[in-house]
Structure 1
Amino acid sequence: MHAYVYKSRRKADTYVYLAERDGFERLPEPLRTQLGPLQFVLDVALVPGRTLARENPEAVAGNLASRGFHLQFPPSAAIDPMSEDWGTDA
């Protein structure tokens, strides 16, 4: 399966994976409005053994097959180790 990845120009660190290139009609209208303009960033083959930086490739492939899109939200500050106070005054 192939995925086409777009970033939201309105919502930082928010990405949309589409099953077909420029298949924006698969996105619900309220979601399209909220995300604003989308900029193409990557096409990726979701093959066995493939890893993605922040997403489970099986979940992405499942959402693409069932809905035609997958939405990747920004990482939560609660689980981002770089956002924690490590006790330094730097």
Structure 2
Amino acid sequence: MRICSVFKSSRKDEMFLYVDKKEQLDRVPDKLKEMFGTALHVMDMPLKADRKLARVDGAKVLQEIATKGFYLQLPPAKDDYMLDLYKDPDRPEFGVR
């Protein structure tokens, strides 16, 4: 078991960093910190390999923290059919003028 700190990105919605609570962001590369933006602390939690998380396996998070010093959870991919919600209806490619 490891106590993890979870941070969310100030730049990317639904992007999170999991790190060892004792180390915090010390082992996260500077380039990743720059891309991630301000790391906003969300919570601390005990994590075991068999713990189920919403989008990833606990064992994978623990393995990456042990080897790299962090686990980066990327935002989920958007479904193609949902992308119409993000299009501007006044633009020609939307099919309406």
Q: Same fold (TM over 0.5)?
A: yes
Structure 2 spans left out of the alignment, 5+ residues? 85-97
Q: Aligned runs of 1:1-90 on 2, under 5 Å?
A: 1-21=2-22, 23-78=24-79, 83=82
In 2, distance between residues paired with 1:21 and 1:12?
26
In 2, distance between residues paired with 1:68 and 1:62?
9
1:21 CA displacement:
4.8
* Equivalent residue letter for 1:50: R
SS in 2 for 1:6: strand
Conservation of the 8 A alpha-carbon contact between 2:48 and 2:59 = no
Compute the RMSD of aligned alpha carbons: 2.3
* Equivalent residue letter for 2:15: T
Query: Computing the radius of gyration over CA atoms, which structure comes out larger, 1 or 2?
Result: 2
In 2, distance between residues paired with 1:13 and 1:48?
22
* Equivalent residue letter for 2:27: R
Identity among equivalent positions (%) equals: 31
Conservation of the 8 A alpha-carbon contact between 2:47 and 2:58 = yes
Query: Which stretch of the first structure deviates more once superposed, 31-40 or 41-50?
Result: 41-50
1:25 CA displacement:
2.2
In 2, distance between residues paired with 1:18 and 1:63?
9
The answer to which structure, 1 or 2, has the higher relative contact order (CA under 8 A, 6+ apart) is 1
After the TM superposition, which parts of structure 1 deviate over 3 Å for at least 4 consecutive aligned residues? 82-85
In 1, distance between residues paired with 2:20 and 2:47?
11
* Equivalent residue letter for 1:66: T
Structure 1 spans left out of the alignment, 5+ residues? 86-90
Q: Aligned residues, how many?
A: 83
In 2, distance between residues paired with 1:21 and 1:50?
20
